[in-house]
């Protein structure tokens, strides 16, 4: 594959809306495409024109829509086959996707089918002096940052963690919109929807302005944290220990395996401050930590630290804020 067909961004949708991660990537990809001297193409899958028109304002030169009513919800088999065909035809040099469940599924399959490299879960992207795309990934438990390039094969496929790039507001629509209308029937799909039961409440912590985050030290009492979050107008987040213990939904996990957040303020309660957790809050504006261990590493990452048992401290805050 020659790989001169531009920088492509897969703009994932959820129902009738574009997922923020695709728009975040588009914001960053404009600069990358310019540095590589290439066009920027946003690709989305679904049906209708509304989302395509919306996408046209996010900096791409072209918007491609794989347009069919059967593509309204993600289907591994159909999406992979159609994207593979588009990529083989257009020969992009780079294909960027959000590291969401569907994005990861798609990226891995495409990389195998196209016999190319996949850099997964990057937290930063740049073009180096040799005009190669470098994806940065925390490795060895967060101890190092590895810069990964895909030197020979095209496209270089990259998944980007949600929340690592700030979202840029849309401008005037400048992209040309091209609809590709594949011929499809039910037999092309790999799954059939029997019922739809959403898990969790669909919270997206990458958008939260304020967070109250609990770890093992909460002992599972997230009700107490919810009361504080309510007073602060904050969302509740958690460490992996707390989500693995089933105290809160998996989608609220912050960190290397969870989400990268950028709230204005985060109150972190009963979390030790493991590096895998810290990568998820290092972009917070102001971090307040409460831990009963004065040597807990969380205090090195915090702007304000309180040594003590979190329960009475939270209760005091809830009471005071309630009176305010």
Ligand X SMILES: Cc1cc2nc3c(=O)[nH]c(=O)nc-3n(C[C@H](O)[C@H](O)[C@H](O)COP(=O)(O)OP(=O)(O)OC[C@H]3O[C@@H](n4cnc5c(N)ncnc54)[C@H](O)[C@@H]3O)c2cc1C
Alpha-carbon distance 132 to 123, whole Å?
Answer: 17
49/315 with CB nearer ligand X: 315
Kindly tell me which residue out of 133, 164, 310, 314 binds ligand X, with binding defined by CB under 6 A: 310
Kindly tell me which residue out of 20, 135, 237, 258 binds ligand X, with binding defined by CB under 6 A: 258
Element containing residue 263 per DSSP (H, E): none
175/310 with CB nearer ligand X: 310
Percent helix, strand, coil in the chain (nearest 5)? Answer: 35, 25, 40
Burial of 140 (0-12, 13-18, 19+ CB in 10 A): exposed
44/272 with CB nearer ligand X: 272
174/319 with CB nearer ligand X: 319
Residues 270-289 that bind ligand X (CB under 6 A): 270-272, 274, 276-277, 280
Smallest distance from ligand X to CB 295, Å: 9
Kindly tell me which residue out of 76, 257, 282, 283 binds ligand X, with binding defined by CB under 6 A: 257
Element containing residue 19 per DSSP (H, E): none
Q: How many CB atoms lie within 10 A of CB 169?
A: 8
Q: Does 215 bind ligand X (CB under 6 A)?
A: yes
Q: Does 291 bind ligand X (CB under 6 A)?
A: yes
Q: Does 178 bind ligand X (CB under 6 A)?
A: no
Alpha-carbon distance 291 to 274, whole Å?
Answer: 13
Question: How many residues line the site for ligand X (CB under 6 A)?
Answer: 28
Q: Does 216 bind ligand X (CB under 6 A)?
A: yes
- Give the chain's length: 324
Task: For residue 254, give the DSSP letter.
Answer: B
- The token pair at 100 is 């969401």
Alpha-carbon distance 267 to 250, whole Å?
Answer: 19
Smallest distance from ligand X to CB 240, Å: 3
Residues 99-128 that bind ligand X (CB under 6 A): none
Smallest distance from ligand X to CB 148, Å: 17
Q: Does 240 bind ligand X (CB under 6 A)?
A: yes
Residue 130: partners with Cβ closer than 8 Å, 6 or more residues away? none
Q: Which of 100, 98, 1, 106 is nearest to 42 (CA)?
A: 98
Kindly tell me which residue out of 255, 281, 284, 287 binds ligand X, with binding defined by CB under 6 A: 255
Q: Does 241 bind ligand X (CB under 6 A)?
A: yes
Residues that bind ligand X (CB under 6 A): 141, 215-217, 239-242, 253-258, 270-272, 274, 276-277, 280, 290-293, 296, 309-310
């Amino acid at each position: 594959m020659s790989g001169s067909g531009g920088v492509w961004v897969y703009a994932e949708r959820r129902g009738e809306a574009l997922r923020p991660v695709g728009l975040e990537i588009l914001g960053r990809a404009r600069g990358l495409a310019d540095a590589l001297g290439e066009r920027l193409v946003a690709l989305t899958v679904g049906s209708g024109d509304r989302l395509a028109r919306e996408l046209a304002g996010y900096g791409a030169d072209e918007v491609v829509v794989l347009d069919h009513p059967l593509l309204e919800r993600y289907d591994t088999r159909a999406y992979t086959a159609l994207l593979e065909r588009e990529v083989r035809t257009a020969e992009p040099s780079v294909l960027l996707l959000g590291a969401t469940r569907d994005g990861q599924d798609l990226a891995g399959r495409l990389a195998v089918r196209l016999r190319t490299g996949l850099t997964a879960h990057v937290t930063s992207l740049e073009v180096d002096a040799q005009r190669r795309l470098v994806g940065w990934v925390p490795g060895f438990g967060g101890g190092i940052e590895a810069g990964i390039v895909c030197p020979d094969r095209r496209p270089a496929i990259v998944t980007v963690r949600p929340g690592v790039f700030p979202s840029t507001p849309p401008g005037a629509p400048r992209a040309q919109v091209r609809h590709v209308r594949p011929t499809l029937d039910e037999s092309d799909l790999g799954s059939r929807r029997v019922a739809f039961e959403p898990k969790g409440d669909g919270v997206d912590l990458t958008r939260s302005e304020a967070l109250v985050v609990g770890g093992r030290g909460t002992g599972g009492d997230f009700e107490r944290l919810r009361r504080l979050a309510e007073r602060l107008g904050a969302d509740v987040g958690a460490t992996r220990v707390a989500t693995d213990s089933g105290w809160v939904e998996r989608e609220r996990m912050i960190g290397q395996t969870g989400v990268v957040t950028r709230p204005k303020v985060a109150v972190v309660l009963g979390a030790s401050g493991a590096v895998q957790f810290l990568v998820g809050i290092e972009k917070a504006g102001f971090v307040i930590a409460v831990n009963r261990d004065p040597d807990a590493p969380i205090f090195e990452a915090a702007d304000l630290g309180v040594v003590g048992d979190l329960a009475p401290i939270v209760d005091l805050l809830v009471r005071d804020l309630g009176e305010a």
